[in-house]
Each structure stands twice: as structure tokens, then as C-alpha cells.
Structure 1
Amino acid sequence: MFQEFDQRVPISISEARERLCSVISFTIPKERIPVSRSLHRITAEGVFAQQATPSYPASAMDGIAVTSERTTHATKATPLVLKDEEFQWVNTGDPLPAGRDSVIMVEQLRPFEDGRIAIDAPAPPWKHVRQLGEDIAVSELILPSHHYIRPVDMGVLLAGGIDTVSVLAKPRVAIIPTGSEMIPPGVSTQPGQLTEFNSEMIRAFLEEWGAEGEILAIVPDDPRVLKRVIAESLHSFDILLIVGGSSAGKRDYTVDVLSEMGEILAHPVAARPGKPTVLSQVEGKPVIGLPGYPVSACLALEWFVPPLLHTWYGAVEKMRGDPTLTVRMDEKVVGKVVGEDFVRLGVMVHAGEFMAFSLGRGAGVTQSLSMADALLCLPNGCYEVEKGVEVEVKLLRSRKAIEQTIWISGEDDPLLDQWVAFFSERNPGWSLRKRLQREQSRSVLCHARIWRGTSSDPQTKITERIVPLAEQEWGWLIKESEVVPGCKGEAGLDFSKRKLLIPPNGSYLEKCLREREGSIHPIGWTSPSVWKAAACVASGIAHATVGTRETAERVGLRFIAEGTCFIGLAIHEQEAKSVWGNLLLASLHSPHMKGIIDSLAGTHFYDPNEVYL
């Protein structure tokens, strides 16, 4: 595999590391563990929510629940007095009473002794109301594959009804101490004996790095015994570390044994301390001979074992320390009037700059903290930060992880969740994120966007390239129990007297809905998330919305087809040639993506090699 090298000539640390990592590949098992024990583990696959949070429309404030339409004419000059039957008292977290669609905070009420209440302003629809699934909706992607689980992620998993999670198994590492003069810790030494403490240090390092180390019995200076222990360990462990015996002394047998059993990749290493380190592979597994001196052993361990663990886990970046970063705001942020305000931000690299944008402000939206790259603290008295202003933020993900994150905007779709879920598994160290917006007619900063339309109407900028992904059915999403006036089989729907959840303004499906004949009655609330929109229908807040067959089947709604459309990726030609652009396009062309597309209800793979400009 490698050219023959003179073992008397030391090899640089970087070359030795490259030799080791280039020949080692792992078959990584998965295991399912309780979420309560998942801290600092790595997800083995995408995790999708099994329950909604909240699981019902809930009051977000203490106050009264009202019907917004009744409050339309309330002003300070002409206050509206509500009778007892026109409102219900609610506390934060209470279910929204039937027939009510808004909550007025208790601080804004003027109660009378007879139980009536005066208000001085109208209550907009859904004000201070947490919709079903506002934080997490059923079938929504919670965590992608190869995600490093933090405390806040554990909370999101549990909120989504997940009590066990599939994670990558920890690599099992055999620690094999050698030397006839060595005795275990805790045993009194005699002249000529030494306490073998290197192994405990090594096990602690391994635990800190996410591996599972097991210390085996001390092996005497006997090559036959060492060979037998190595052979037995290969059946039970993924990585073997031999402590001591790697030098050139009369009782140092590690190099000879490993040379006989496998292939020496590097020995010695051009470094002091640590020169006697031995790198080898036996039966396809890495076997490292560490020097016996403690400093040499620790240094060699740190040079060569973490790269193997990166290979195992897929180069997952972990936060170290409490770093900050200077970012430029991509949008205006308005703070609260009183006290410090902490804003959760997404951060992306664009044109060589770190650009930041808000991910949501609600204190109950746990997922926004799990998704956040950084926190911006607006000090007391700072009421807003204008777009384009540079600010310092506290990082919640590493700078490298942010630099290797690709942001996708545009129209949401179940296909996008599936893509995000597997992207990191295919591209270790990289991640794909969604930046959804309520106004599709207003473009936002992103690396690429999801496009939906017809093949004859690409609706794109002239500098963008469209990569079609699939053809899919779209239509009405309604509850199974919903009676639709005017429904004649699968067509002829009459929603003139039904409240609809309208897709985001400017989206393809919103335009299709607006083109329908007859009046439309929106509920006054929308969501860029297909799962949250479907949850709104499932909860009965809206009678119907429009979406895809896959969304309906995943959430348990009735689907009535209206037509077909194409969905694809819009990306600037110049960006398509970048490193991350190549990763995106390669994943779209992968057999795995074709399998995902064909598995989605009402969705059919479309050849991505056919490009519309």
C-alpha cells in the first residue's frame, strides 16, 4: 500500500497521521439509548417528532380569551365593554376555549365590579396564542443525523415525544499495558517494580473524547503472550493501544509482533518526546504502540487517536470554551423595553462575512435554542439593532461548524426535511439548515433556495440555475371528519364558508389558491412550515390548507388532489461551482436522494441532469 520506508528514519507527525487515517475505515454500529443518557452522543439518523408541543392551542399569557372579531372597534376614546359571556379567564398554558381566537393580557384590562371588562384596543387574531405545534409539530425534523447532542437537544427530543434515540456506538478501545516490571495501582511497589498508571490516564482521555476504553491485564515482556492478547482483542475492540515496549530495547517486542501480525505504517515518529510511537494496522484495525514514558504516551495519544475518532464520528465539531464572534446583522432586531433581551440567531458565511438573523423570539420555542448558532444580548435601554450593523455575539456552535453550514430558503417541503436529515451523514463535518420565511415574495439571504412551480414557469432570477428534483401532487389538506360543502368527488370544492390557512405570501401554492374562483376566508395566521400548517388543520383552528400528499399522510389528514408541480433547487451559477455547491449537487444526484424522493407519497423522482435556465 505504501512505498517501503526505512524504519530507522523518523516520519513527521503529519505524515504518520495521514498514513494511519488513509488506510483505516470503520463499520460503525448504531445503538438505541434513552434520551436521558444521550448527552454528548452523536445521532445515527435524522430524528422526527412523534408528538406536538404544545399539543393544543394554548394561551401564552394570563388574561382573557376573546373572539377577535368582537373587539374590532375598541379604542381608547371608545372603549369596548365585554360582558361575562363574551370572554373566559385563562392562565398561561391553559387550552384556548372553543370559539376564541385571541388573548388579552391581564395588564391591559379594566374590570368592573359587576364582572364586565373594558378594553381600549382591538385584539388581533391569534395574539398571545400558542398554536398547536408552535414549538414542535408532528413529523417535523428535530435533529439531523451526525448531530452532537447537547442538553438543550435532549429537551427538544423529549418535547417531540422521543424517549429513545439512535446514536453512533462509541468506539471500544483496548488499553494493553506491558512490562514485567509493572504492577497495578494500589499495590505496594518493591525494588525493581513500577506502578502502571499510564492506562488510567489514557482511559480518562478516551472518555473525554467520546470513546470507551477498557484496561486489560498487564502483559509481561513475552512476545508470545503479547501476540495472543492482540489476537484476542481484535475480536472485541475497534482500536488497540499497546502501552510500552515500542522502543529498541532488548525487552521491547511491540514493533516485531505488529510487523509479524500486520503492517507497520509509521515508526519511529520525528518528535521528542514520543519518537518510539508505532502505528500499524492488523486485520484492518488500527493498533498503536505508545511509548512507556508518561509524557511521550500522552502526546502520542493526542497526536493519533483523535483523528481516528473524527473518522469514526464524522468530524463532528464540539464547542470549546466560551467564544464570541463579530457578525453583521442581516435584518433589523427590535428589543424589549425593559431589561436585557437575548436574541437567538442563525449565522451564515456570505461573501466572506458572518451574517446573522433572528430565529424566533418566543420563550416557549425550545427548538429555536437548539437550532441557534449564537446569542445576541441587547442591553437594557438598547431597543433595536439596525440591519447592516456589526455586533458581538456569544457562539453556541463552533466557528468551523458555522463555516460549514449551508442555509436553504424558499418553500418548505417534506423532501427538504429528509434532505437535511441525511446530508451530514453523507458529508461529515457539514450541515444543511432551513431558513423559512412567512413572506415568499421577500427574498432572504441564503446559499440556495427551494423552488416550486411548473417546468414552463421557473420563477427564478436569470443568474440562477434550477435543478429539478421531483414532480409532486398538491391539493387540499382537511380533517377526515370535515364535511366539505360542494365537494363532488375529488373536485368542485366550495370553501367560501370555511376558514383557510393560507400558505406564505408569494409562494407557488398561495398563488394557486388565490387563482381559485370564489371568496377565501383566511384565519389571520400562517406558517412557513408545512408541519405547523398541517397541525393547524388537525387542531381544528383552520378547516383546510393546501399542501402535498406526503404532508397529509404523515399527519393523518385527508388529501384531495388539485394538481401537480415541480420542486427543485435554485442556486446561483457561481455558487454551484463552490465547495459547498458541489456538495449540494452531489447529494441531489445520489442514489440515496432518489430513494428518498420515490418513498414520499405523491412524489416522483425527476432527472436532476435536466436543467432549466
Structure 2
Amino acid sequence: MGCCDAPGLMPLEEALEKMLSPINPTTKTITLPLQEALGFVLADNLLSPINVPPFDNSAMDGYAVRKTELEQNNTLRLAGKSFAGQPYEGEWPQGTCVRIMTGAQIPEGCDAVIMQENTSVEGEWISFHQEQVKPNLNIRPTGDDISQGDVVLDKGSRLTARDIPMIATLGISHISVFEKPKVAFFSTGDELKPLGTTLKAGQIYDSNRYGIKPLIENFGCEAIDLGIIPDCQETLKATFLHAQTISDVVITSGGVSVGEADYTKDILEELGQIGFWKLAIKPGKPFAFGSLDDAWFCGLPGNPVSAILTMYVLVQPLLAKLGGHTQWQAPQSIPAKTNTAFKKSPGRTDYQRAVYTINDGVFEVETTGNQSSGAFRSMSLANCFVVLERERGNVGVGETVQIQLLSPALY
């Protein structure tokens, strides 16, 4: 008897362990121009080939001075200028100062920059009104930000919009990254119709693919949309066979329940293996995981909230591991005080959509309303999940619960 036939539901923690333990991170690498690398995962530690900044430079618009000379005379003659990209050149005479701009190279021998607000100018003579001049005042030394040879990003880091310009400052034009996992996905069900068509009795629009695709991409993978597949066993089987040849992971929406027209389980048993079928999670109990001959399989429930939640909680860490994203972390749990009641029956870990606020440093949370797995507006309104423990019951006002703030993947 398989786990999907056993009485009871598999706990969430056990399901995650069963999903992640057989996954081997990709070893396929490609080299990309830096401007195309956003969202990819680094295949090697990134070492800085240079110092940043590469030379001592000014942190202010002002005047470069020699501290000992300024202590002897607070009025110095202007010897020249140092602009960004146009440093002061030639001999710097004793008893003089150099006009300098922010980012410009510090003249040799300079040990302080006096900001222009603390000076007055009369022709070529500059008077200084700085009461105390500390050594290296307003000077950014070579390597102040990054030293040559520093590890600036670890292997397994996913490149963000903050990382790309930092890498550019190092002069690195191309970068080695892991290939993005390919994820084929489709919806199943005769009741589903594409947007732009007129619904007939018993039909609904397929919304799940519009949520699944951006999540796959936000998780750092390549999304392959195979559309809507009708409740036809031959067509569904052919789609599975095709999907596993073009992807690393196949994701379905719907068809993992126990209805007469839900063929996914039978086809998966024929083409691969079923890891588990039912979880102690709400919403999302009929979530399936297994393998085909050439790809992993995740079967999402058909209800919209259930599909998105199981993508977020279960599929996201799987794709992170598969893609070599070793720096990925699950959302942190934060204690919060309830401002509204939350209904719950013991037996399943419950992810309820909610809105948090912070008052006097205390997290407070209230429900977004209708928690039905088909009520997606409550997901759209939420900025966090209230995660209620498996054996916990109803929660009253003023109790403490654990919340997880929504990660950028859902924005």
C-alpha cells in the first residue's frame, strides 16, 4: 500500500523532506553578458579582480590639503584642480591646496579634504574655517568598499537588481551562472476556458496558469506554458510524455483529486512514481509529488488559492534546490497579536491570508475575510500568512500567532 492510500494526511515537514531529499542541484552552467544575468544563480564564488575604489578619492566637494601645512596657516593658495576622471597632475607646491570634487583622485601627499562649506574664497586664496582636522578627513581610501580578491557574492546566490551594478563596478562583463531549470505547466479540466471566450453553463476561466507562470519566473526558472488540457486520458498522457522531454519539472493544476475524470494519478503511476498524494495542509490537501522518467512532477490542487499556496510553500524550495540556489531561505516566522478571530479545525497546518501592521513595535494581524480556497481576492489583499499549527483550533482576539510576511516572489 502506497502513502497515498494510507489513512491520514502527511505532515507538511515530512512532505518537504520527501520532496527535497532526492533533488540534485543542476551542474549545467552557461556564461552570460552581465546585462542578461539578472535572476540567474552564480555557478562560482565571485571574486573581485580590483580594489573598489581603485584609488584614494574625495568624499566631498572641497579642497585637498596637507594637514600639517593647514595647521601652520589657515589660508592657502590654490594650486590647481582635481575632477572626477581628470586628476591633478604635476608637482604639488608646498603651502598650497587643490580644488577637488567628489569622487576625484586624491593628490599624492594629501591627508585631508575640507568641504567647501567650511571655506571662503578670495581670488586664488582659500581660507579654511574647519576647527578640527582629523587625519584622512573626507578621504575614501583605496579598497574602502571592496578589496582585490574579496568574495563579493557566494556561489549559489541569485543575482538581483542590487547585485548587477555592484558587479559592474568590478569591471566584470561576463559571468558564469547555472542554467535555469525548465518548468512545463498546464491546467486540466473540461470546465476551464481561456480568457476572451464566452462562458457556458458550468464553465469557468482558467486563472491558475496566470498565477503559476509568474511564480515560476520569480522563483528563477524558465516557464513553458502548455495551456489547458481537457479531461481526456489519451490527451493527458500525451501531454505528460511531451512535457517531460522539454522540462526538468512538470506542474499540473487540477486533476489530483479523486473524481472520476481525474486521470493524473493513473497516468503518473504508469509513467513514473508517486511520492505522496495528500497533505495535512490547508488549503492544498490534494497536492501530489512524484517523478516521471525524465522530470519531476508536482500536481497542484485546482482551487486558485490552493494552487498558489502550494507553489509558494512546496514547489518554491524544490525549484530553488534544483536550480542551485543555495542561498534561498524560507520565510521567517514572526509572533503577532490577533486583532480578529481566526476559525480553524485541528488536523492540518493552516495558512490563512491576513494583513499585518506594526504598532509601537508590536506586530498585529487581522484576517482578510473569506478563507475559502476558491476566494482569491483574500490572497490579493493579504501581505502575510497566519500559519496556524496542525493541532491548533480556533484563535480568539488577542492571542499570539505566527505570521510569515509575503516574500517578493508574490509581488
- Would you call these one fold, judging by a TM-score over 0.5? yes
CA 1:225 to 1:164, structure 2 compared with 1: closer, same or farther past 3 Å?
same
C-alpha displacement at 1:263, in angstroms? 1.1
Gaps of 5+ in 2: 79-92, 336-403, 406-411
C-alpha contact 1:66 1:104 (8 A) present in aligned 2: yes
Shift of 1:183: 2.6
Partner residue in 2 for 1:214: 224
Q: Which residue in the other structure is 2:63 paired with?
A: 64
The amino acid that maps onto 2:60 is: M
* Counterpart-to-counterpart distance in 2, 1:314 and 1:96: 41
The superposition leaves residues 442-498 of structure 1 with CA deviations (integer Å, 9 ceiling, x where unpaired) of xxxxxxxxxxxxxxxxxxxxxxxxxxxxxxxxxxxxxxxxxxxxxxxxxxxxxxxxx
Which of 102, 106, 113 is the equivalent residue of 1:96?
Answer: 106
Q: Which residue of 2 aligns with 1:317?
A: 329
Matching of residue 195 in structure 1 with residue 205 in structure 2: yes
Change (3 A) 1:269 1:133: closer
Q: Distance in 2 between matches of 1:271 and 1:98?
A: 67
State TM-score, norm by structure 1.
0.45
The answer to whether the aligner puts 1:205 opposite 2:205 as a matched pair is: no
Listed one character per residue, the Cα deviations across residues 499-521 of structure 1 (whole Å, up to 9, x for unaligned) are xxxxxxxxxxxxxxxxxxxxxxx
Distance 1:315 1:256, change over 3 A: farther
Maintained 8 Å contact 1:59/1:103: yes
Which residue identity lines up with residue 21 of structure 2 in the other structure?
S
2:230 is the alignment partner of 1:232: no
Q: Percent identity?
A: 29
Structure 2 residue aligned with 1:538: none
**Counterpart position of 1:394:** none
Amino acid at match of 2:43: A
Q: Is the 8 A contact 1:142 1:156 kept in 2?
A: no
Residues 71-110 of structure 1: pairs in structure 2 closer than 5 A:
71=70, 74=72, 79=73, 81-83=75-77, 85=93, 86-87=95-96, 88-109=98-119
Q: Which region of structure 1 is more displaced relative to structure 2, 294-303 or 240-249?
A: 294-303
> Is structure 2 residue 19 aligned with structure 1 residue 9?
no
Q: Equivalent residue of 2:241, what SS?
A: helix
1:254 is displaced (CA, Å) by 0.7
* 2:53 aligned partner: 54
1:244 and 2:244 matched: no
In the aligned structure 1, how far is the partner of 2:297 from the partner of 2:165?
Answer: 39
Cα gap change, 1:227 to 1:97, in 2 (>3 Å): same
Is 1:18 matched up with 2:17?
yes
Match of 2:366 in 1: none
Q: For residues 10 and 284 of structure 1, do their structure 2 counterparts lie closer, same or farther at Cα, with a shift above 3 Å needed?
A: farther
Tell me, yes or no, if the aligned pair for 1:10 and 1:267 is still in contact at 8 Å: no
CA 1:276 to 1:109, structure 2 compared with 1: closer, same or farther past 3 Å? closer
Secondary structure class of the residue paired with 1:173: strand
How far off is 1:101 after superposition? 4.0
Q: 1:142, 1:160 within 8 Å by CA — same for their partners in 2?
A: no
Counterpart of 1:276 (choices 270, 283, 286) is 286
Q: Deviations over 1:269-288 (max 9, x none)?
A: 34565443322112363212
Call closer, same or farther: CA 1:251–1:132 in 2, change over 3 Å: same
Q: 1:285 aligns with which of 295, 310, 317?
A: 295
What is the rounded CA distance, in whole Å, between the counterparts of 2:292 and 2:192 in structure 1?
26
CA distance, structure 1, for counterparts of residue 20 and residue 258 of structure 2: 25
Query: RMSD of the TM alignment (CA)?
Result: 3.6
> Displacement of 1:8 after TM fit?
5.3
Structure 1 residue 294 and structure 2 residue 304: aligned?
yes
Contact map agreement 1:148 1:318 (CA 8 A) in 2: no
C-alpha spacing 1:55/1:183, structure 2 compared with 1 (3 Å) = same
Change (3 A) 1:9 1:201: same
Residue 145 of structure 2 aligns with which residue?
A: 135
Summarize the Cα distance change of 1:25–1:223 in structure 2 as closer, same or farther, 3 Å threshold: farther
Measured after TM superposition, the shift of residue 94 of structure 1 is 2.6
Report the alpha carbon displacement of residue 203 of structure 1 after superposing the two structures with TM.
Answer: 1.8
Q: Do the aligned partners of 1:138 and 1:160 also contact (CA within 8 Å) in 2? A: no
1:165 equivalent in structure 2: 175
In structure 2, the residue corresponding to 1:232 is in which secondary structure?
helix
The answer for the alignment partner of 1:492 in structure 2 is none
- Whether the 8 Å contact between 1:238 and 1:285 is mirrored in structure 2 is yes
Q: What is the one-letter code of the residue matched to 1:115? A: W
Tell me the amino acid that sits aligned with residue 298 of structure 1: I
How many residues are matched?
A: 318
Q: Which residues of structure 1 form unaligned runs of 5+?
A: 324-397, 400-613
Which residue of 2 is the match for residue 382 of structure 1?
none
